[in-house]
Amino acid sequence: MAVEQSGDDCLQQIKSLRLQLNAIIDRLEQRTISEIEWGKSSIGVKIHADVDKIDDVIERLQRLSDDLNVGGERNEVASYIGFIKCDDMIWNAKVLLQKIQNKNSYKMTLDPNKGITEYLSSLDMLGEVICDGGEKPLPGLDYVFEVEKHVLHNVKVADEKTCNIVGICKLATEEFLLADNFNLKLKLIDSNYKVTSTCDVPEHPQDVCLIGEREAAVLVNKNSENRHEIHFFCVRSGTLLKTRCIKLQHKCSSLAHNSGNLYITTKTSLHVYNISSGQGRQLYSDETGEYTVNCCAVSTDGSQIFITNVSNHQLITLNKDGTKQFTLTHSELQHPSVVHITSLGHVFMCCGLNTVVQVVGMKDGKPSVKALARKKEKLTRPTALCFNSSTDTLVVGLCENDNIVELQMNH
């Protein structure tokens, strides 16, 4: 009964929304019609003004003509003066007529607001249908996950090179986006991990992150051509579409999103860019090694930024202004290449050649590291992480491998 009632409530919401849309369109229509009526009146005034000028000239010419044709004798001088006035008025009348004839024809056209139809056409539905209930909430930050099972999923498309999945993010629709570095592609996979759509990416993508329910940013970097860019893609009706691009002036290796800002690493520094304006600034830098700022992740509230220091085997925590707060070192943090944070703050990392770890104890200031999966879970050179809270699984991308690994964890 609860399902039926909630479904009926949704239908009532649709009807209410439709009435609101009708009212908005009616208002736009009436304002446009009023503007047309005003335009017609304005043009009519201009036409009447031209007609009045012509009528005035005709009337004055008629009076002069009547004066010249009055019976009786007129002296020669008076007749000549009348003739000159008449000739001058005829000349002025010709000039006036020429000006009127040279004017463009009065008409009205309507330039429709294409933004309205384009925006409505771009939408799939009137709103997102969300089915709540039956899903376990994420546990607290002190909870330590255990991997119960691992499953391999092949994400190679016909006629492709070997895959190299360097970035993964999850859409609100339970689909995933994969950045395939070797094949220069962004791939859309469904909840069963089947590839449903692909889109070409210029040069080699470095990472992908979600910036909206159905929109993502992809990082592109090619040092030999000094090409460093952020490309934006959206998912429409199950198809990937490229929308726009922001060019960068520095190298780039990974990215994360929070509240309209993109955080981008260069391997030795961290920059933040506003998505709307494209303006950016450097937040943090460490030139002591070659890979001191390799990958980044941002907490949901934006108060903490995590970066991996591969050169020194560390996880660095910054505040939102880029000031270093904490440095974590641990025997399990060997070459920590990737860091991923869940919506509730659980931190996962890819380390070394075959290990995925969880960082625990962050909340109480006594962090530690626990290995979750290694080579026996088919982890060979893990390169990307994404946690799916709907199924308590951690999806792992692999270097030079056609498979991704689904780590199914207890909760």
Q: If we measure between CA atoms, which residue out of 190, 189, 183, 191 comes closest to residue 166? A: 183
CB of 263 closer than 8 Å to CB of 298: yes
In a domain? residue 187: yes
Contact residues for 9 (Cβ-Cβ < 8 A; gap 6+): none
Type of residue found at 117? T
Domain co-membership, 19 together with 70: yes
Domain co-membership, 89 together with 220: no
pLDDT of residue 48: 77
Residue 71 region by backbone torsions, left for phi larger than 0, else alpha for psi between -120 and 50, else beta: beta
Q: How confident is the model at residue 133 (pLDDT cuts 50, 70, 90)?
A: low
Domain with 402, as residue range(s), is: 147-409
Global confidence as pTM: 0.67
User: Rounded to an integer, what distance in angstroms lies between the CA atom of residue 219 and that of residue 70?
Assistant: 93
Query: CATH number, domain at 371?
Result: 2.120.10.30
Domain co-membership, 180 together with 53: no
In a domain? residue 129: no
- In this predicted model, what pLDDT tens digit does every residue of 230-286 receive, in sequence order? 999 999 888 999 999 999 989 999 999 999 999 999 999 999 999 888 889 999 999
CB of 26 closer than 8 Å to CB of 18: no
DSSP state of 225: G
**Which of residues 105, 133, 167 is at a domain's end?**
105
Domain co-membership, 76 together with 158: no
| C-alpha triplet 146, 149, 154: angle, nearest 5° | 130
Cβ neighbours, 10 Å, residue 66: 9
Phi first, then psi: give them for residue 143, nearest 5 degrees: -75, 135
3 state SS of 157: coil
User: Rounded to an integer, what distance in angstroms lies between the CA atom of residue 366 and that of residue 348?
Assistant: 16
In a domain? residue 273: yes
In a domain? residue 283: yes
Domain co-membership, 258 together with 343: yes
Domain co-membership, 99 together with 167: no
Q: If we measure between CA atoms, which residue out of 229, 128, 121 comes closest to residue 173? A: 128
**Which of residues 105, 135, 166 is at a domain's end?**
105
Query: Domain tally for the chain?
Result: 2
CB of 236 closer than 8 Å to CB of 122: yes
In a domain? residue 110: no
Domain co-membership, 27 together with 78: yes
Which uninterrupted H or E stretch holds 173?
Answer: none
Indicate the Cα dihedral angle 358, 354, 336, 168, nearest 10°.
-80
In a domain? residue 135: no
- In this predicted model, what pLDDT tens digit does every residue of 162-203 receive, in sequence order? 999 999 999 988 899 999 999 999 999 999 999 999 999 988
**Which of residues 45, 72, 105 is at a domain's end?**
105
Give Cα 192 to chain centroid, integer Å.
26
Domain co-membership, 93 together with 228: no
Q: Which residue has the higher pLDDT, 161 or 101?
A: 161
Average pLDDT, integer, range 81-109 = 71
Domain co-membership, 89 together with 182: no
Give Cα 283 to chain centroid, integer Å.
23
Give Cα 323 to chain centroid, integer Å.
29
Quickly list DSSP for 368-387: EEEEEE-GGGT-SSEEEEEE
Pairing of strands 347-351, 355-360: antiparallel
CB of 220 closer than 8 Å to CB of 209: no
Domain co-membership, 151 together with 101: no
Domain co-membership, 248 together with 357: yes
- In this predicted model, what pLDDT tens digit does every residue of 308-358 receive, in sequence order? 999 999 999 999 999 999 999 999 999 999 999 998 889 999 998 999 999
Domain co-membership, 197 together with 81: no
In a domain? residue 120: no
In a domain? residue 114: no
